[in-house]
Amino acid sequence: MAYSQSHICLLFISFLSFCQHPLANLHKTTTLFGSQLTSDPNTTTNPTTFFEVTKPIRLPKKTKPCSYLILQHDFGFTYGKPPVLGNYTPPFEKCPCQDYEKIVLVWRATCRAKQFDRIFGVWLGGVELLRSCTAEPTKTGIVWSVEKDVTRYYSLLMSNQTLAVYIGNVLDDTYTGVYHVKIYMHFYPKNEENGFGEIKMESLEDSYHSNADLIYPISRSLPLNDGLWFEIVNASNVESKEVVIPQNVYRAVLEVYVSFHENDEFWYGNYPNEYISASNLKGAQGNGPFREVVVALDDHIVGAVWPFPVVYTGGVNPLFWRPITGIGSFDLPSYDIEITPFLGMMLDGKSHKFGFSVTNALNVWYIDANLHLWLDKGSEKTEGKLLNYNLTPLQFYLASNFTGYDGSFHANVSRSIKSTGFVKSSHGTITTEWAQDFNYSNIMTSGNEGNMQIVKQNIHYNDNVNVKSPSSVFSFKSLKSFPFYFYMDIVDQVNGTYTSLSKLTLGFNEKKVKHSDSGASVSSLKNLQSAQGDMVVKGDLVVRGLGSTQQLYRYHGNEFCYFRNISSSNFTILYDKERYNCGLVAK
Ligand SMILES: *[C@@H]1O[C@H](CO)[C@@H](O)[C@H](O)[C@H]1NC(C)=O
Ligand SMILES: *[C@@H]1O[C@H](CO)[C@@H](O)[C@H](O)[C@H]1NC(C)=O
Ligand SMILES: *[C@@H]1O[C@H](CO)[C@@H](O)[C@H](O)[C@H]1NC(C)=O
Ligand SMILES: *[C@@H]1O[C@H](CO)[C@@H](O)[C@H](O)[C@H]1NC(C)=O
Ligand SMILES: *[C@@H]1O[C@H](CO)[C@@H](O)[C@H](O)[C@H]1NC(C)=O
Ligand SMILES: *[C@@H]1O[C@H](CO)[C@@H](O)[C@H](O)[C@H]1NC(C)=O
Ligand SMILES: *[C@@H]1O[C@H](CO)[C@@H](O)[C@H](O)[C@H]1NC(C)=O
Ligand SMILES: *[C@@H]1O[C@H](CO)[C@@H](O)[C@H](O)[C@H]1NC(C)=O
Ligand SMILES: *[C@@H]1O[C@H](CO)[C@@H](O)[C@H](O)[C@H]1NC(C)=O
């Protein structure tokens, strides 16, 4: 029984723990690859294209982009080595235009042969532009691309910078897959018909929706080995960086990038430590299933991130993600923290510290951030003050009813953070109120003598910014929810062979609401993936298996809509319906 009892945990460590520090796990884990599957399709012609379902980037009409390759590299044994560097130059010399409406980064990669999925990052001047996970290759080869709208990094993209790209890849006799990567930038000039050259007074509200004047990296500095992210290895680990900002900033936003690996790759399924020691469940990961990324300025908590549970391309059952990959896995979400109410603490021309920690963290979290700053063009010095600050401590409701290995845990956690501050600038006195409100619920059930696990989790994550100035009053809100369901059962264990049955539901929903004197606007995204399948595993190999995935993506915005209903099974797309017309979007 000891053998079977350890299986769930074994699965969490081995099959579910890719896209991470490879060396730490390479030798103690087994691996699942397309190349090892008997169901791997025998395509000898073109490599398979893997993709993440997302809405297309809206590009200006009638303009041709200025495009160029910013990096080409074959990532072989890169783990623990310095990032690959490049000299980035803005497009001025290559294209006549100097004013761009949209800037798109395109990552394009191919790989053939056995390889893990690997976490990677792309930084420009230390500012992170993309956090992503590679697709898992097959013996016949795969290709995938990630297109990201990077217009918000405009100011950075207009000057010479050092480009840094890090993938933690490992090569040995078995894992021979080299990632062949090309990164392009596409600069779409402003369309003259859209008002190019028009001189328009920008209102304060417009400036809140425009790109920052400066972006400072809150990441580790080059030269170094590994990625530029900080590594948070335990619950008491705080990583930080000092920064001095100009004295005429009137708005600041910290954009936080987060990814979780190794023992915390499946944090939402981690058991409480007490249960692990009481049941002697071998190999299980502990500290329970709740995690919060805490962001501090000079050791005061200014905001938090309750992360979306990204499942990487090797996660749960790798057959789910061929060719449709998990929500967010090719372009991990970043999270904005409004720093404006706290600007008064930072405008003294001195150095201030941004720190990151993760409640209950196990090794390892990769975290860094970009500080977006808006400068007051009408004055050389702004000043500010924090007026009000209210942080509710984490409120936990915990219950469990275990007998032996089997039973349930229930955890509900909530928190709200609210701050108000003013900044005096040439726009007058701007008062900003910033509120975050979080609810988390997780019900974890273990059965079948510890071989079956069900996790039902939801995170509600609301951000709210209210701005008052002498000339305008406006607000913007983001209401997010991340429903998550996971089921896995291990059956038929004979001679080191077993079958795993699994189901997964993953949702990313976000409603954005803007209110101003000129009215309200709403956009909403509902992105829901369900996957189910089985795999027969013997030793290191998936002997056979089947994964099926269905995804429904519904975006309804002011300017356009996008709907996609797609499904794949056994490497094949079953149906794929796409619509752009708002009127036709199903409720
Ligand atoms: C999956 O597709 C392969 C052909 O590519 C086929 O041989 C196999 O039977 C299919 N598996 C299932 C479970 O349908
Ligand atoms: C795969 O395709 C190649 C080339 O068409 C063929 O020679 C080979 O027999 C095929 N293998 C299988 C298992 O069908
Ligand atoms: C940017 O880099 C290019 C190419 O190396 C160089 O010609 C140019 O002078 C640099 N510009 C600045 C402002 O340093
Ligand atoms: C947590 O990690 C930090 C940084 O590596 C280390 O200094 C500290 O000893 C660790 N604390 C515990 C309790 O393991
Ligand atoms: C434990 O709690 C869960 C969820 O509340 C419930 O479904 C289950 O029946 C309970 N089990 C026992 C043995 O009480
Ligand atoms: C826990 O949260 C869920 C979902 O928000 C809610 O339905 C449930 O009533 C909460 N339970 C407790 C005991 O607070
Ligand atoms: C969290 O729950 C509380 C109490 O039920 C509710 O007032 C609040 O609106 C919820 N917040 C979110 C983000 O769902
Ligand atoms: C398990 O392996 C042994 C030795 O290879 C073999 O004799 C036996 O038949 C196998 N049992 C099953 C159920 O496959
Ligand atoms: C998605 O397509 C499937 C297959 O055609 C269909 O059964 C389902 O109703 C569609 N869902 C929506 C919301 O359109």
Residue located nearest, by CA, to atom 7 of ligand 6: 441
Torsions phi, psi for 128 (to 5 deg): -80, 130
Report d(CA 408, CA 455) in Å as an integer: 10
Q: Which atom of ligand 4 is nearest to the CA of 236?
A: 1
> What's the pTM value of the predicted model, to 2 decimals?
0.91
Q: Which of 39, 40, 546 to mutate to test the pocket of ligand 1 (most atoms within 8 A of CB)?
A: 39
Which contiguous run of DSSP H or E holds residue 5?
Answer: helix 2-5
pLDDT in tens, 568-581: 999 999 999 999 98
Whether 244 shows a pLDDT value over 70: the answer reads yes
Under DSSP, the state recorded for 23 is H
Pocket test for ligand 4, best of 231, 232, 236, 357 (most atoms within 8 A of CB): 236
For the stretch 260-288, pLDDT in tens is 999 999 999 999 988 888 877 776 788 99
Cα of 440 to ligand 5 centre, how many Å? 20
- When mean pLDDT is compared across 141-145, 289-293, 349-353, 524-528, the lowest value belongs to 141-145
CA distance 388 to 418: 8
568 Cα: distance to centroid of ligand 1 (angstroms): 13
Is pLDDT of 46 > 90?
no
15 CA from centroid of ligand 7 (Å):
35
Residue 462 pairs in a beta bridge with 437, 479
pLDDT, position 586: 46
Binding site membership of 60 for ligand 5 (Cβ less than 6 Å): no
Tell which phi-psi region holds residue 448, choosing left (phi > 0), alpha (psi between -120 and 50) or beta.
left
Q: Which residue CA neighbors atom 3 of ligand 7 most closely? A: 439
The pLDDT value recorded for residue 291 is 98
Q: Is 493 in the pocket of ligand 3 (CB under 6 A)?
A: no
DSSP label of 394: P
Per-residue pLDDT, 415: 97
Cα(39) to ligand 1 centroid in Å equals 6
- Kindly tell me if the per-residue pLDDT of 366 is higher than 80: yes
Domain residue extents for the chain: 5-584
Ramachandran category for residue 360: left, alpha or beta (phi over 0 → left; psi -120 to 50 → alpha): left
Centroid of ligand 4 to alpha carbon of 236 (angstroms): 6
pLDDT grade for 48, boundaries at 50, 70 and 90: confident
- Which amino acid is residue 495, in one-letter code? N
Of 42, 44, 138, which is best to mutate to test ligand 2, by the most ligand atoms within 8 angstroms of its C-beta?
42
- Calculate mean pLDDT across residues 329-349: 98
* Cα separations in angstroms, 406 against 267, 368, 446: 19, 38, 5
Confidence (pLDDT) at 8: 36
> Residue 505 and residue 484: Cα distance in Å, rounded?
6
User: What residue ranges line ligand 6, CB within 6 angstroms?
Assistant: 397, 412, 439, 441
Q: Which listed ligand is nearest to 364 at the C-alpha?
A: 4
pLDDT of residue 54: 98
Cα 127 to Cα 71, 165, 254, distances in angstroms: 16, 11, 11
pLDDT for residue 230 is more than 70: yes
Three-state secondary structure string covering 117-170: CCEEEEEECCEEEEEEECCCCCCCCEEEEEEEECHHHHHHHCCCEEEEEEECCC
- Taking alpha carbons only, the member of 576, 575, 577, 581 closest to residue 562 is 581
What is the per-residue pLDDT for 4? Answer: 33
Give the mean pLDDT of 42-57: 83
φ, ψ of residue 3 in degrees (nearest 5):
-65, -50
DSSP class of residue 340 equals G
Confidence at residue 16, expressed as pLDDT on a 0 to 100 scale: 32
- Quick check: 30 pLDDT over 70? no
**Residue whose CA lies nearest to ligand 6 atom number 10:** 412
Average pLDDT over residues 5-34: 33
Q: Which atom of ligand 4 is least distant from the CA of 235?
A: 1
Residue 51: pLDDT band by 50, 70, 90 thresholds?
very high
Report which protein residue has its CA nearest ligand 3's atom 1: 160
Which helix (DSSP H) or strand (DSSP E) does residue 415 occupy?
strand 407-425
Token pair, residue 263, equals 């023992």
Query: Mean pLDDT throughout 167-174?
Result: 87
Q: How confident is the model at residue 29 (pLDDT cuts 50, 70, 90)?
A: very low
| Ligand 6 pocket, mutate which of 441, 443, 482 (most atoms under 8 A from CB) | 441
pLDDT over 70 at 40, yes or no:
no
Average pLDDT, the chain: 88
* Spatial separation of the C-alpha atoms in residues 29 and 327, rounded to whole Å: 25
Q: Which atom of ligand 7 is nearest to the CA of 461?
A: 13
Average pLDDT over residues 84-95: 89
* Ligand lying nearest the CA atom of residue 89: 3
Task: Supply the residue whose CA is at minimum distance from atom 3 of ligand 6.
Answer: 441
Q: Which ligand approaches the C-alpha of residue 481 most closely?
A: 7
Ligand 4 site residues (CB inside 6 A) read 233-234, 236-237
Percent of the chain with pLDDT over 90: 71
Residue nearest atom 6 in ligand 7 by C-alpha distance:
439
Q: Which ligand gives the minimal distance to the CA of 406?
A: 5
Q: Give the position, in ligand 3's atom list, of the atom nearest the Cα of 159.
A: 13
Produce one character per residue of 501-532: b if its CB has 16 or more CB atoms within 10 Å, e if not.
Answer: bbbbbbbbbbbbebebeeeeeebebbbbbbbb
pLDDT band with cut points at 50, 70 and 90 for residue 495: confident
Least confident stretch, 33-37, 291-295, 556-560: 33-37
Confidence of residue 9 (pLDDT cuts 50, 70, 90): very low
* pLDDT for 541: 66
Structure tokens at 448: 């079948």
Residues 6 or more apart whose Cβ sits within 8 Å of residue 137 = 33, 34, 35, 111, 112, 113, 114, 115, 177
pLDDT at 531: 98
| Cα 533 to ligand 1 centroid, rounded to whole Å | 13
When comparing pLDDT for 402 and 73, which is higher?
Answer: 73
Q: Determine if ligand 2 sits within 6 Å of the CB of residue 42.
A: yes
Q: What's residue 540's pLDDT?
A: 60
Residues with CB under 6 A from ligand 8: 494-495
Residue to probe by mutation, ligand 7, list 415, 460, 513, most atoms within 8 Å of CB: 460
Q: Report the pLDDT value the prediction gives residue 44, as an integer from 0 to 100.
A: 52
Q: Rounded mean pLDDT of 295-313? A: 97
Q: Best mutation site among 35, 37, 38, 44 for ligand 2, i.e. most ligand atoms within 8 A of its Cβ?
A: 44
**Among protein residues, the one whose CA lies closest to atom 7 of ligand 8:** 495
Going by alpha carbons, the residue nearest to atom 5 of ligand 7 is 439
Residue 195 has pLDDT above 70, yes or no: no
CB 238 within 8 A of CB 357: yes
Segment among 153-167, 189-203, 236-250, 437-451 with least mean pLDDT: 189-203
- At 347, the pLDDT band (50, 70, 90 cuts) reads very high
Res. 199 pLDDT band, cuts 50 70 90: low
Summarize the confidence of residues 72-80 as an average pLDDT. Answer: 94
Q: What proportion of the chain, given as a percentage, has pLDDT over 70?
A: 89
Q: Whose CA is nearest to atom 2 of ligand 8?
A: 495
CA of 513 to the centre of ligand 9 (A): 28
Ligand 2 atom at minimal distance to the Cα of residue 42: 1
**551: helix, strand or coil:** strand
Q: Which three-class secondary structure string do you get for 37-66? A: CCCCCCCCCCCEEEECCCCCCCCCCCCCCE
Residue 509: pLDDT above 60?
yes
With a 6 Å cutoff on the Cβ, whether 45 touches ligand 2 is: no
